[in-house]
Chain A
Amino acid sequence: MNHPVEEGATPAENRLPAEGSGEIPAAKEEVTTYVERLKRLQAEFDNYKKRTLREMTALEERVGDREVCDVLPVFDNLQRALEHLEKDGATPAFVEGVRKVVAQFDQILAQKGVSPLACLGERFDPAFHEALVCVPSDREKDTILEEFERGYLRSGRVLRPSKVKVSRGNPEAKEA
């Protein structure tokens, strides 16, 4: 392509450094610096792209996790309602209906890769459980005695830890 030459532009030959003027080594060094910087920038950009991809995947997972977490309290309360209905002598048909809704909820969670954490009688592990209270008991120390709120896993990650009551062991037995 022919680019029109701007008026008043320096003629090309005047810009060439004179031989032996020391400008060529300086120019070479400048080129090296720029090439170095370009390479670094390219590498950083390449890494940035890779990391962005990784982060996008992680973000998608987290957004999915958060969505599920937002509806879990509704599920908790539905289960609480079911427990009370059974105790309070609601009509069997009504209890059965609510039980089916709970089962449906469970199924949807399973489809989303969400599974409940079994914890009763297990050994307390802070990677999966959050202790709300710790009481003396005849059970071995650190055994989970009661589940206050169910915990969930999603694709192996802890979505929400189980909120539990933990045994402190029997202090009297220890002293003996």
Chain B
Amino acid sequence: MREKIIGIDLGTTNSCVAVLEGGKPEVIANAEGERVTPSVVAFTAAGERLAGRLAKRQAITNPRHTIASIKRKMGTDYRVRIELDGKVETYTPEQISAMILQKMKKDAEAHLGGKVVKAVITVPAYFNDSQRQATKDAGKIAGLEVMRIINEPTAAALAYGLDKTEDQTILVYDLGGGTFDVSILEIGDGVFHVVATDGDTQLGGDDFDQRIMDWLVEELRRDTGIDLTGDPSAMQRLKDASEAAKMELSSRKETTINLPYLTADATGPKHLERKLTRAKLEQMIDDLLAKSVRIVDAALTAAKKEPKDIDQVVLVGGSTRIPKVQELVAARIPGKINKEINPDEVVAAGAAIQGGILAGEVDEIVLLDVTPLTLSIETLGGIATPLIERNTTVPTEKTKTFSTAEDNQPGVEIHVLQGERKLAADDKSLGKFQLAGIPPAPRGIPQIDVTFSIDADGILHVTAKDKATAKSASITIKDSSRLDEAEIKRMQREAEEHAAEDRRKAEDVETRNRADQLVYQVEKALSDLGEKVPGSQRGEIEDQVRRLKEKLSQNAPADDLRRAMDELSKSSQRLAEEAYRSTATGADPSDQSSTEKRGQDEGYVDAEYDKK
């Protein structure tokens, strides 16, 4: 197997690892089941080394031997001093970063089920040579062969496929948990150039949480006089609730922060319940966001660009999910905003793509076509019954078994359709053919296999085969997937617009089909049972059958049909019960089971018949 090259976003607060799979970047969850790993390392008294979530959990018990944000020290001569059992050891920032990388490597190996040796690691665009070299060395210490160090904004742009665009100017707005970076890139001939960078190393989502917390603490103090800041348990609950509220307000206009039994004083327990609106949150963080816009302006000035010169904006970092952030960026820069990829993972995704390119994986990807629209055949009552759903990757083959709708039906017509509508008449007809020579049999008995097969060139072969006689007929349709884009869009749009109406129409047809089936079954049962049905009961049932048939022929509304069917089903059930009771010993079991099966088996769909 080709060697995988993983992509690692080695962040200040959190790190993330991804790998290219089947041409798409996949983020790898860590051993704790999380998609991002805290960039924290710890040395415990027991001589253990911890990295990630566990290191973070014990930080407060072991502050001197817990290291966070080591990225800020990369490329400097800063040393981490660890004193354990009287022995002092010093570690370089590279060595500490290597412990985080080692964890990412191990988690990736667990996911991929094999050794991982090669990696692409990202760094901020403003990192100088020694910082880049330090990052590379960290990788080496972790046992990784660092195939390339790439800029975080470049990775984000790669994730959006912007390397394939013509000469463009791109602004990357990266608002993470604790740091804010703006980078302006130029792309030409698939190569990115960093034109300018700016940022604030102490601005991020954590500041927004803190603002909400401050507000809650103040509210409680005003209401009850209680100061929560000395209560670590209550403060932790406030912190979690603040972060949750902030996140919820990215998709909703208002949220309630509800913390029952948050604290207590002499007068009893104190609860905290506050409504927080999106508008209020925006007001709380207004100055922080304004600051980020000023930094964007400074970067533009440094790059000697006007906002209108920016063709693409890429949003990175969890805090860019905040609608106000997106609004402010859009108001400042008229270019296209890319925000569809998870902003916490987009840098790692881009690094994985770079890894895939280096591994030669990207070139090798054979782009397989998909069927743009559903392919169906027309069945009883003009329903389009799908065989191959839209978006199925080709080549592919599907077979479904159909049957006849009439007793002694000599043949079936296979009408091949394309489209998303539920009724055959609304879909595009691709072709029709007949399968004749079906031996006389009651309806529902013949089994006709209809096979749709699409080859890699998009050519559709449809074959119908009668299982009993092995007789078959087929058709080849050459242009099943060669609709132009506009036509596909139109058909998809129409299907969405008519979805409700189509479903109702299809249900009506299905109700009619069921009514028809019921009439057939009951009539058959009456004739099979013959003398065993008492005259009065037979009369009642025959009346009901006649009424239902009339309704069918008059095209009565589905509700009417359903009512008549309910009546008839009830009395025919009684009919069956009594028949069984009177013939409990003498009945032929095989006959019974086959009658029942026909009524209940939903695996068969009646093909539209065509009597000749």
Query: What CA separation (Å) do A166 and B44 show in the bound complex?
Result: 14
B55 engages A148 (CB within 8 Å): no
B58 engages A77 (CB within 8 Å): no
* Residues 113-148 of A contacting B (Cβ, < 8 Å): 124, 126-127, 129-134, 141-142, 148
A148 engages B261 (CB within 8 Å): no
Interface string of B165-197 (1 = CB under 8 A from A): 000000000000000000000000000000000
B60 engages A131 (CB within 8 Å): yes
Query: Which residue on chain B has the smallest CB distance to residue A80?
Result: B261
* Residues 68-91 of A contacting B (Cβ, < 8 Å): 77, 80-81, 84, 88
Given contacts A126-B55, A131-B57, A166-B61, contact A88 B268 (CB under 8 A): yes
Interface string of B484-511 (1 = CB under 8 A from A): 0000000000000000000000000000
A132 engages B268 (CB within 8 Å): no
Q: Decide yes or no whether A94 CB sits under 8 A from chain B.
A: no
A77 engages B236 (CB within 8 Å): no
Given contacts A84-B264, A126-B54, contact A131 B59 (CB under 8 A): yes
A124 engages B476 (CB within 8 Å): no
Residues of B within 8 A of A47 (CB): 113
| Secondary structure class of chain A's binding surface, majority of residues | mixed
A84 engages B57 (CB within 8 Å): no
- Which listed residue (B1, B42, B58, B61) contacts A43, Cβ 8 A? B1
Distance in angstroms from A120 CB to nearest chain B CB is 14
A163 engages B45 (CB within 8 Å): no
A148 engages B269 (CB within 8 Å): no
Residues of A within 8 A of B2 (CB): 40
Given contacts A51-B113, A133-B232, A148-B236, contact A84 B55 (CB under 8 A): no
A44 engages B236 (CB within 8 Å): no
Q: Decide yes or no whether B233 CB sits under 8 A from chain A.
A: yes
Residues of A within 8 A of B264 (CB): 84
Query: Which residue on chain B has the smallest CB distance to residue A37?
Result: B364
Residues of A within 8 A of B22 (CB): 44, 48
* Residues 1-27 of A contacting B (Cβ, < 8 Å): 1, 3
Q: Decide yes or no whether B288 CB sits under 8 A from chain A.
A: no
Residues of B within 8 A of A142 (CB): 45, 61
Residues of B within 8 A of A58 (CB): 33
Residues of B within 8 A of A129 (CB): 57-58
Query: Which residue on chain B has the smallest CB distance to residue A146?
Result: B233
Given contacts A43-B1, A126-B58, contact A77 B233 (CB under 8 A): no
Q: Decide yes or no whether B210 CB sits under 8 A from chain A.
A: no
Query: What CA separation (Å) do A3 and B232 show in the bound complex?
Result: 79
Residues of B within 8 A of A166 (CB): 60-61
- Which listed residue (B61, B260, B476) contacts A131, Cβ 8 A? B61
Interface string of B32-60 (1 = CB under 8 A from A): 01000000001001000010001101111
Q: Decide yes or no whether A100 CB sits under 8 A from chain B.
A: no
Question: Please, how many residues of chain B have a CB less than 8 angstroms from a CB on the other chain?
Answer: 28
Query: What CA separation (Å) do A141 and B55 show in the bound complex?
Result: 18
Q: Decide yes or no whether A149 CB sits under 8 A from chain B.
A: yes
- Which listed residue (B1, B33, B236) contacts A40, Cβ 8 A? B1
A1 engages B474 (CB within 8 Å): yes
Distance in angstroms from B140 CB to nearest chain A CB is 28
Distance in angstroms from B364 CB to nearest chain A CB is 8
Distance in angstroms from B213 CB to nearest chain A CB is 15
Query: What CA separation (Å) do A124 and B58 show in the bound complex?
Result: 8
- Which listed residue (A51, A62, A165, A168) contacts B232, Cβ 8 A? A165
Residues of A within 8 A of B57 (CB): 126, 129-131, 161
Interface string of A35-62 (1 = CB under 8 A from B): 0010010011001100100000010001
Residues of A within 8 A of B261 (CB): 77, 80-81, 84
Given contacts A81-B260, A149-B233, contact A3 B1 (CB under 8 A): no
Residues of B within 8 A of A130 (CB): 57
Residues of B within 8 A of A165 (CB): 232
Query: Which residue on chain B has the smallest CB distance to residue A135?
Result: B232
Residues of B within 8 A of A131 (CB): 57-61
Residues of B within 8 A of A62 (CB): 33
Query: What CA separation (Å) do A78 and B117 show in the bound complex?
Result: 50
Query: Which residue on chain B has the smallest CB distance to residue A128?
Result: B57
- Which listed residue (A37, A77, A126) contacts B260, Cβ 8 A? A77
Query: Which residue on chain A has the smallest CB distance to residue B59?
Result: A131
Query: What CA separation (Å) do A124 and B60 show in the bound complex?
Result: 11
Distance in angstroms from B235 CB to nearest chain A CB is 8
Residues of A within 8 A of B58 (CB): 124, 126, 129, 131
- Which listed residue (B54, B55, B113, B236) contacts A132, Cβ 8 A? B236
Most A C-beta atoms less than 10 A away, residue of B2, B260, B264, B474: B260
Query: Which residue on chain B has the smallest CB distance to residue A40?
Result: B1
Residues of B within 8 A of A88 (CB): 268-269
Given contacts A1-B474, A134-B60, A165-B232, contact A127 B33 (CB under 8 A): no
Query: Which residue on chain B has the smallest CB distance to residue A141?
Result: B45
Given contacts A48-B22, A84-B264, A142-B45, contact A148 B61 (CB under 8 A): no
Residues of A within 8 A of B50 (CB): 126
Distance in angstroms from B53 CB to nearest chain A CB is 8
Query: What CA separation (Å) do A1 and B474 show in the bound complex?
Result: 10
A84 engages B232 (CB within 8 Å): no
A-B contact pairs, 20 of them (CB 8 A): A3-B476, A43-B1, A58-B33, A62-B33, A65-B33, A77-B261, A80-B269, A84-B261, A84-B269, A124-B58, A126-B54, A127-B54, A132-B232, A132-B236, A133-B233, A141-B45, A148-B232, A149-B233, A161-B57, A166-B61
Known: A47-B113, A88-B268. 19 other contacts (CB 8 A): A40-B1, A44-B1, A44-B22, A62-B33, A77-B260, A80-B261, A84-B264, A124-B58, A124-B61, A126-B54, A126-B55, A129-B58, A131-B57, A131-B61, A132-B232, A132-B236, A133-B233, A134-B61, A149-B236
